[in-house]
Amino acid sequence: MKTDLLVTGAAGLVGHALRQRNLSDTEFVTREHADLTEFGSTSTMFSLLKPRRVIHLAAVVGGLGGNMIHSGEYFRNNIMMNLNVLEAARLAGVEKLISFMSTCVFPDRCQYPLNEAHLHNGPPHPSNFGYAYAKRMLEVQSAAYRNEWNCNYIVAIPTNIYGPNDNFSLTDGHVIPSLIHRCHLAKQRGEDLVLWGSGKPLREFILSDDVARLTLWLLDNYNEDQPIILSSGIEVSIMELAETLADVMEFKGRLIFDTTKPDGQLRKPSDTAKLKRYLPDFEFTPLRQGLEQTVEWFLSNYPKVRGA
């Protein structure tokens, strides 16, 4: 069996967005099809499907709380999945593979805006060091395989992804999905909504469908050695995000910021020059519009959503 495109982590956020694009000759695989932390299982899957190209999305991810609590688990499982997928792809003769990091892998103390060339210029923020170092090694492995075996492996670095089919866990989810879930519960219970930190940190958010569109473009057009950042470059404070979401969800309670909890990095603006050079006219989905789509999906599927 020969397949044009294999997508790992297909049950996740970006995998779901790619499914909605009705791609032909594509195999979407999840942990039910193969255990990517085991090389034998991973290699068998590649041998059976014989993919020409691969979008590697599978990862163990979480928000600030999850990263702090499960640093060892996140490091181990992400390292194993990436090692196995890239090696199995090499042995299967995959022509091109794109995989993903995130902006949290950049050094804690670095020059802003974050630039692809500065990826290894210092340790990541201690709040997510396990996940961040594992993801950095994905870039190192891709570069090493390109150098020794001429593998066309590229790496994308999206900013904070959100959208339908996210992980809405109250403890391990990223900021937007966990906030949506908590806001929904607070609204049902007639309670105020308590948020971690001061609300001052700034983040860049990107809708999963935008990532899917960019990923397919990269698969056909991008071949640089260096990774590429996927972001609109627009920073939004956590406070502004919470206020916008509360308005979208018609939440009437108070927003209370618990300053005894950590903020994480204050800001990590990204350099979008490379992406704009390739796609100067790409239109990103505005945050409010993306939140409306995500909230609508969440309410339509709750409580049968991931993390609920």
* Catalytic residue annotation: 131
Structural domain includes residue 36: yes
Question: CA 21 to CA 161: how far, in whole Å?
Answer: 18
Residue 302 lies in a domain: no
In contact, 17 and 212? CB cutoff 8 Å: yes
User: In the chain, what percentage of residues exceed pLDDT 70?
Assistant: 97
pLDDT confidence band for 280 (50 / 70 / 90):
very high
Q: Residue 148 falls within a domain, yes or no?
A: yes
Contact 274, 229 (CB under 8 A): yes
* Structural domain total, the chain: 1
Number of residues that make up the chain: 308
Q: Residue 228 class from Cβ within 10 Å (0-12 exposed, 13-18 middle, 19+ buried)?
A: buried
Q: Is residue 70 part of a domain?
A: yes
pLDDT of residue 121: 92
pTM over 0.85: yes
pLDDT, tens only, 89-131: 999 999 999 999 988 888 888 888 999 999 999 998 887 788 8
Are 180 and 164 in contact by the 8 Å Cβ rule? The answer is no
CATH number of the domain that residue 82 is part of: 3.40.50.720
Under a CB-based contact definition with an 8 Å cutoff, are residues 180 and 163 in contact? no
In a domain, 220, yes or no: yes
Q: In this structure, is residue 139 part of a structural domain?
A: yes
Residue 40 within any structural domain of the chain: yes
| Helix axes of 287-301 and 175-189: crossing angle, nearest 10 degrees | 60
pLDDT at position 57 is 97
Q: What is the pLDDT of residue 173?
A: 77
Asked whether residue 78 is domain-assigned, the answer is yes
Q: By CB neighbour count within 10 A (0-12 exposed, 13-18 middle, 19+ buried), where does 292 fall?
A: middle
Domain boundaries, position 12: 3-162+204-230
pLDDT digits (tens, 9 = 90+) for 7-40: 999 999 999 999 999 999 999 999 999 999 999 9
